[in-house]
Structure 1
Amino acid sequence: MSKHADSFLSHCITYTAHDSTGVTRFTGVQHEVNHTSETQLQGWKDVIHEMCTVYNECMVGATAGVADPRELVTKVKGMLTDHAEDQKKLVHLFREWKELHIKIGQEQFSALTLPEKESVDFFVWAGYCMHKDLNAVKGGNTCMQAWWGRNGVDGLVLLMNRDNAAAASGGPSTAQARAVHVSQGGAAKALALAGSVFRHKDNKKGQQDSLRFFLEAQLSYFSPWPDTSNTRYHSNCDGASEWLIHENLYVVYLKIIMDRKDARMHTNIKQNEMVCFSMWGQCISHPYFRTVRNSSGNILDLGPLHNWLITHIKKLIDNIELVFSMDATYETATFDGKPFERPESVYII
């Protein structure tokens, strides 16, 4: 399993212990010169070589035998990564590398039993469940925005930066057309902008410190804005819920600290899109995360769970009143039938 952030890559290995339980071990963080799949594969080669070297140096004189990196590679049965294209390519490269190290002739292979053949050939790739939800939210947002044009409805208000706003206001021109083309709008953009103000990914920027004092004075407690500036998993859904619950407070706060450009961001926020993000998080994202985290098996055992998830989503599509009617309850609206994560947002919606 690998996960990258900035120019560092962390590695973990999961294996079956002597008592048949699954064990996951952290195998180090490496600094990578880039995020290419080839560089990441080399990182795995270095990790495996270092592990075997350290083992052999520690076991000199022991009867346990020598650890051979080539043999270890052939024992790898799969990889768990996110759904990014560089990770999919990494899995493909790793599998090719593994097959290069299988030292068994066709005649010997043919003599193996079926279970032995399956054991030699077996290799599976699986992606993070949290990333599945992120892709679902992104895909849903794309479809939601495309709906406006297909149905002849006025689209999203563009949230332009200062330069593009100036170009767009200058009358028909190439610059105006380009400013409109490159500008984005909608709830996802608004939430990202809100994150850059309320909780900037660079703690030297943003207004997170003053916001803390403001909210503590108003609410007697502080709950940080979801990490939309970093586009963390389900952060847009949580950000939409937070905005719906405390909109009046954030409006007052924006009036206090915003300049003209940032103030315009508030007036363009689309409430209907915020509702979609928030309700997806309440009915699907959080219940799905809870179910996955409470699962006692591994990711290969989650096929029935995902079939169940698809069935639940189709049920909500067929009967949206299960979510939005005045007598709707979490028992029928949420994927796991458990209480909403932020019931206040549901009541407001």
Structure 2
Amino acid sequence: MTSTVVRETFQLGPFTAPRLWTGLWQLSSNAWGTAPVSKIRQAMGRHVDLGYTAFGTSDHYGSAELIFGQFRASLGSPDSVLGATKWCVFKPIELTREVVAAAVRQRIERMRTHRVDLLQFHWQDYDNKDYLLALSILADLKQEGLIAAIGLCNFDSLRTEEICTRFPGLVVSNQVQFSLVDTRPLHGMTDVCTTHGVKLLTYGTLCGGFLADKWIGELEPDPYSGQLNPSQRKYLDMITKAWGAWVLFQDLLLVLRGIADRHNHDQGEGSNISISNVATRWVLDQPAVGACIVGARLGCAEHPAENARVYSLRLNDADRAAIEGVLSTVDGNGGRRLVETVGDCGAEYR
């Protein structure tokens, strides 16, 4: 990235946040590769130097909260970096104020901070309406200064609407899967978020790395070959079973490569827009999207400079029409098909 690149920002509750975040989920398992903690912290520093001043972690990403906390505490101005984490309720619990406060304080302790910048709340069982009680308690803890902002994680459109109506202005974000392959947020979620002023923080935007130049002309990979990481196995299934087929995905890649080539020609020498840049820009341009969270194998494989090229890219009407030409061939409406076969946002985890 050069100094001439304008880093886009958006308002997220009390924070002015960048539109590209670094996702730390790959620290949850050695399946993505491993690196010494010292190298991981050095990689975090490189990301911050390049303008990636927001990191997304979780209570179930292994040591990610701890490593991030160590890194941020080492900075001269720790508050210049935004740390988003999660409190995920996957199983029935005895929901009391003490239980919720203990979960929040654990996040604070692990991240070495005085408050959680953004606490993203996930609730597994919609049949148990205690998620409303949990949010009421979180709102109280926010008033006490333990949380700066509250978001949701993988909530569907119906419950997001319910929560925003019950607690006006409380929720600032919802983290959901969103990409050119998975356009489910366009079928209800973006309308809800636009109405209530909620920003989408998107993941899976590059389909585990499949939305990249390296996959043009490649045969469909074998998910059992041992060559794919957990994210790639997940998104390969999404591409070939839920969305369409590998051959159609190849059509999409070629269209994206053509768009990138046209913009490289227009921008002149030194421009190197990639398929990943086009795919990310398309998501960033969708209603209610605040930021794309890009996973990084810190200390192993990182692409911060390449990813930042998205800031210099602006899609035009012809670009969007070319993309839509491919998407519309997926049962006439790929996003609606996924809503019908997989379910609304977050349904794949329930």
In proportion to residue count, which structure has more strand?
Answer: 2
Larger-gyration structure (1/2): 1
Same-fold call, TM cutoff 0.5: no
Relative contact order higher in (CA < 8 Å, ≥ 6 apart): 2
In proportion to residue count, which structure has more helix?
Answer: 1
Q: Normalising to structure 1: TM-score of the pair? A: 0.28
Q: Normalising to structure 2: TM-score of the pair? A: 0.28
